[in-house]
Structure 1
Amino acid sequence: MAILDTKIKELRSIEHLCKKSTRADSKESFLNKIICGSAVDIMKQIPDNLVHLVVTSPPYNLKNSTGNGMKDGRGGKWANAALKNGYSHHDDCMPHNEYVKWQRDCLTEMMRIIPDDGAIFYNHKWRVQGGLLQDRQDIVSGFPVRQVIIWKRKGGLNFNAGYFLPTYEVIYLIAKPKFKLSTKANAHGDVWDFTQEMNNEHPAAFPVDLIDRIVSATESKIILDPFMGSGTTAISAINFKRDYIGIDISPEYCEMARKRIKQHQAQVKLW
């Protein structure tokens, strides 16, 4: 019996070493690549503590709505909005509880793959549902939210007489205990005024200047965006000579990001 126990321990030790080696060897297979697949599934393959910074904005589940904004693709008064047609390979209309679980699963994986001095900048949108503010606490509660940054956007329309025109989104700074900003970055306020991206085929693209603000405010070397979309986070990483990892479920957006990154790298070489 003792011999059997020893053999089992040896086998488990070998299995652990194999898994550790596989994850360690996989580092180069992630760096500076756009990977097409499910955000949670791909992040589960990333080694612990590999990523120093996560910058991302998930789909907001806008078509699951109590109003007639972009509900079930009708468009309503938002008929000309790019998001009316939804995302490629994601319908943005999950039952709310399923959506919350999905996003919490995403955040859990992000927390695993960042070290003790890592951080997540998680962009989301508050909205009114059923006459009450949906402030996303059901997603972020329990995670170490250190600060809420207000991203003030330009313009917008409001067809609901029950509340004022929404002009901002929020960015949750979810930080591990040892995370610090780079020198002098803490001089920035917590209200950021950036115009949303207008010249982009993706229906909900980040403005590069917004991501540049985040990336330049840290010393992070490897930056992940698990909802990479058209590749803006990668563009910003390149701007500051950082490595990136991009994930997106849409083959269309992955190809869009790769093409955009290639074009940007060619421009950078000319500077």
Structure 2
Amino acid sequence: MKDIDQFYNKITHGDSLEVMKTMPDESVDVVLTSPPYNLKNSTGNGMKDGRGGKWSNAALMNGYDEYNDNLPNDVYAEWQYRNLREMYRILKPDGAIFYNHKWRVQGGLIQDRSDIIRDMPVRQIIIWQRNGGINFNKGYFLPTYEVIYLIPKSKFKLAPKANRYGDVWKINQDFKNPHPAPFPFELADRVVKSTTGGVILDPFMGSGTTAVAAIAHGRKYIGIEKSEKYIKMANERIDKFKKGSIQEELNI
């Protein structure tokens, strides 16, 4: 095991599961992350529509850099569950995981991600209400929300007055971020300021939004990312934030 302070305020290049295995038990305060959704294996949205147009040009049609986002569903679910178990192991006794995912229709039936969450101690589901996307399937209404699973350890409490936010967060997507699937700064900011922990981990760091939110509130961040391209993107955004040059882009 490595000392946790070796990971502070940097993004480690590597596989999320393997890197977390090198971290000591009960060493981080908060985990905030949004993993790849395995969308290219979906049968329930426009990814496989084939009609071209706007959706055919969407960045996620090409998957992620160094990850195609197209695993067999059982393999994907097992991978994500194992990641959650590692996140939970390294949480302090008063820590919590905020795990952003998306309920999907697969084979005509909704997936509420119980295949991933399994026996994890979910305390609450937060609804992230965002703008609608594109839905070519006439069998169901246009999806306009994602979910954030709050998975705490027993001593976790919110920061003072944070419970006033409620469990439905209306926050628009980030359309200025070059990453193919970013979550907005406002969402990361709300999670960070709703907690009191000093060390924030994102094992799927992507473009660095979690790190920027941690810095904005004087916290330490730990990032893991398997794409060197996204690490470069994230570090550039972090540097710009420290210099005060992307605050307007983040609407702060």
Q: State how far apart, in whole Å, the 2-side matches of 1:151 and 1:68 are.
A: 19
Q: State how far apart, in whole Å, the 2-side matches of 1:161 and 1:266 are.
A: 47
**2:126 alignment counterpart:** 149
Q: Is the 8 A contact 2:44 2:137 kept in 1?
A: no
Match of 2:20 among 29, 43, 47: 43
**1:175 alignment counterpart:** 152
**2:194 alignment counterpart:** 217
Is 1:262 the counterpart of 2:242? The answer is no
Q: 1:162 to 1:229 in 2, by over 3 A?
A: same
Q: State how far apart, in whole Å, the 1-side matches of 2:198 and 2:137 are.
A: 44
Q: State how far apart, in whole Å, the 1-side matches of 2:108 and 2:52 are.
A: 18
Output one character per residue of 1:21-68: Cα deviation in whole Å (capped at 9) or x when no partner: x63xx3221000011100000001111111100000000000112257
Q: Is the 8 A contact 2:27 2:90 kept in 1?
A: yes
Q: Is the 8 A contact 1:145 1:173 kept in 2?
A: yes
After TM superposition, the structure 1 = structure 2 runs for residues 1-271 of structure 1, keeping only pairs within 5 Å, are 23=2, 26-67=3-44, 69-71=46-48, 76=52, 78-267=55-244
Q: State how far apart, in whole Å, the 2-side matches of 1:267 and 1:67 are.
A: 41
**What residue ranges of structure 1 are gaps of 5+ in the alignment?**
1-21
Cα displacement (A) at 1:169: 0.2
User: Counterpart of 1:262 in structure 2: which amino acid?
Assistant: D
Instruction: Choose 1 or 2 for highest CA Rg.
Output: 1
Q: State how far apart, in whole Å, the 1-side matches of 2:139 and 2:92 are.
A: 44
Q: Is the 8 A contact 2:125 2:149 kept in 1?
A: yes
User: Counterpart of 1:101 in structure 2: which amino acid?
Assistant: E
Q: 1:175 to 1:223 in 2, by over 3 A?
A: same
Output one character per residue of 1:98-150: Cα deviation in whole Å (capped at 9) or x when no partner: 00110011001000100111100000001111110011011112000000000
Cα displacement (A) at 1:74: 6.3
SS at 1:203's partner residue?
coil
SS at 2:12's partner residue?
strand
Q: State how far apart, in whole Å, the 2-side matches of 1:213 and 1:120 are.
A: 14
**1:17 alignment counterpart:** none
Q: Is the 8 A contact 1:122 1:171 kept in 2?
A: yes
SS at 2:236's partner residue?
helix
Q: How many residues align?
A: 246
SS at 2:93's partner residue?
coil
Q: State how far apart, in whole Å, the 1-side matches of 2:97 and 2:61 are.
A: 28
Output one character per residue of 1:157-208: Cα deviation in whole Å (capped at 9) or x when no partner: 2211101110000000001110000111111110000000100110011100
Q: Is the 8 A contact 2:44 2:104 kept in 1?
A: no
TM-score by length of 1: 0.87
Q: 1:76 to 1:102 in 2, by over 3 A?
A: farther
Residue identity over aligned pairs, in percent, reads 58
TM-score by length of 2: 0.93
Q: 1:252 to 1:161 in 2, by over 3 A?
A: same
**What residue ranges of structure 2 are gaps of 5+ in the alignment?**
248-252
Q: Is the 8 A contact 2:81 2:117 kept in 1?
A: yes
Q: Is the 8 A contact 2:44 2:105 kept in 1?
A: no
